């Protein structure tokens, strides 16, 4: 599969993910009716972000490190499994299609991480955390399946742990590798695992130490990166530390805002630089502002902010979507390369 076609598919998945999020934001703001079952659309939104955007982009970072991408036939099967799972999530939540498609997706992930392990030769290569981190994250899935009907609240905590684990243990090390930042992978693994537990199933002070340790590991001290990258990574690290020591409450609005900020402002720029989007382009500042307008109002809901935050988040999400459609589409098609 050539690079342009791959870029177009990734962009389409990104836009669809963002569009679903925008619809939910405007519905929560009370400005439109919910066109789909909210829980099902939320499942599809979250899983498409990982299945169709974040992990495939992480593969590009692995390629930069000399790790072969999955074959064209594997990617075709993977795409079909992603489509099947999203249809299942939209139809009935954790439906049969969603389970079958997600199982295939997880299998491709594990095989790719297993192949990647052979390229890790030093203790300070962040990609060393990939295979054990992915195994730990996927270990949450049986608990999700077990408690989905018995205890939906507990199942949602396991889902949060799984999603946070994939971000902190798989996507984040891939970002560090893409930026050529060396970090001891055993420390990333332990801190990321505790941090994922803190954001989901085990919200305790002990697990919070993992967030603080991870903040120290990813603070961009003397990194050779563009200024906007250093700024968002610094904000991300400070946010982790604040949650770790209890200055910011570990509540659902804070976690949702933090996850969206990490995915859109920290991981996305770090990973899309690998296929060729210029990381130093000043247009990224506008992207970060749009993401901030989405995430900050959501976080403020944890501090008793008024209903205006729902409308503000919807406006911010719309700006992110428009920016991804216009700028991301140009980059995906490769018709008008961005310039400084």
pLDDT tens-digit readout, 19-69 = 999 999 999 999 999 989 999 999 999 999 999 999 999 998 898 888 888
3-state secondary structure of 24: helix
Helix axes 96-116, 141-150, angle to 10 degrees: 160
Q: Which residue bears the tokens 């990194």?
A: 223
Does 332 have pLDDT greater than 60?
no
Spatial distance between the Cα atoms of 101 and 79, rounded to a whole number of angstroms: 10
Spatial distance between the Cα atoms of 39 and 90, rounded to a whole number of angstroms: 9
Spatial distance between the Cα atoms of 123 and 223, rounded to a whole number of angstroms: 19
* Model confidence, pTM: 0.93
Looking at residue 280, its pLDDT comes to 73
Q: Which residue has the higher pLDDT, 26 or 284?
A: 26
- Arithmetic mean of pLDDT, 268-279: 71
Chain centroid to CA 137: 13
Q: What is the pLDDT of residues 218-264, one digit of tens each?
A: 999 999 999 999 999 999 999 999 999 999 999 999 999 999 999 99
Task: Give DSSP secondary structure letters for 37-68.
Answer: -HHHHHHHHHHHIIIIIIHHHHHHHHHHTTPP
Q: Which residue has the higher pLDDT, 272 or 324?
A: 324
Looking at residue 247, its pLDDT comes to 93
Does 336 have pLDDT greater than 70?
no
Looking at residue 296, its pLDDT comes to 97
Please report, for residues 154, 202, 207, 216, the alpha-carbon distance to residue 150 in angstroms, rounded to integers and kept in the order given. 9, 19, 26, 39
Spatial distance between the Cα atoms of 85 and 105, rounded to a whole number of angstroms: 9
pLDDT-based confidence at residue 7 (cuts at 50, 70, 90): confident
Structure-block tokens of residue 51 = 């299945």
pLDDT-based confidence at residue 330 (cuts at 50, 70, 90): low
């Amino acid at each position: 599969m050539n690079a342009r076609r791959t870029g177009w598919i990734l962009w389409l998945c990104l836009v669809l993910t963002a569009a679903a999020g925008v619809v939910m934001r405007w519905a929560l703001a009370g400005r439109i009716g919910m066109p789909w079952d909210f829980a099902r659309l939320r499942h599809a939104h979250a899983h498409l972000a990982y299945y169709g955007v974040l992990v495939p982009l992480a593969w590009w970072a692995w390629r930069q490190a000399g790790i072969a991408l999955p074959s064209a036939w594997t990617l075709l099967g993977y795409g079909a499994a992603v489509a099947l799972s999203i249809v299942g999530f939209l139809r009935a939540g954790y439906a049969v299609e969603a389970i079958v498609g997600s199982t295939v997706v997880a299998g491709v992930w594990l095989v790719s991480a297993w192949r990647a392990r052979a390229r890790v030769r030093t203790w300070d290569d962040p990609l060393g955390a990939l295979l054990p981190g992915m195994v730990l994250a996927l270990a949450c899935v049986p608990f999700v399946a077990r408690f989905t009907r018995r205890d939906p609240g507990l199942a949602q905590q396991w889902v949060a742990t799984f999603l946070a684990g994939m971000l902190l243990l798989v996507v984040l090390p891939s970002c560090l590798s893409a930026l050529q930042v060396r970090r001891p992978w055993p420390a990333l693994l332990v801190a990321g695992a505790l941090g994922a537990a803190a954001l989901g199933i085990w919200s305790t002070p002990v697990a919070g130490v993992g967030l603080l340790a991870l903040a120290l590991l990813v603070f961009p001290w003397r990194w050779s990166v563009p200024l906007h990258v250093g700024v968002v990574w610094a904000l991300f690290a400070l946010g982790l530390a604040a949650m770790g020591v209890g200055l910011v409450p570990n509540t659902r609005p804070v976690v949702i805002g933090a996850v969206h900020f990490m995915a859109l402002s920290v991981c996305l720029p770090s990973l899309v630089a690998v296929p060729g989007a210029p990381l130093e382009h000043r247009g990224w500042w506008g992207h970060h502002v749009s993401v901030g307008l989405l995430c900050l109002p959501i976080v403020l809901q944890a501090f008793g902010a008024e209903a205006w935050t729902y409308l503000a988040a919807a406006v911010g999400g719309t700006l992110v979507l428009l920016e991804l459609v216009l700028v991301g589409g140009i980059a995906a098609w490769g018709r008008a390369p961005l310039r400084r």
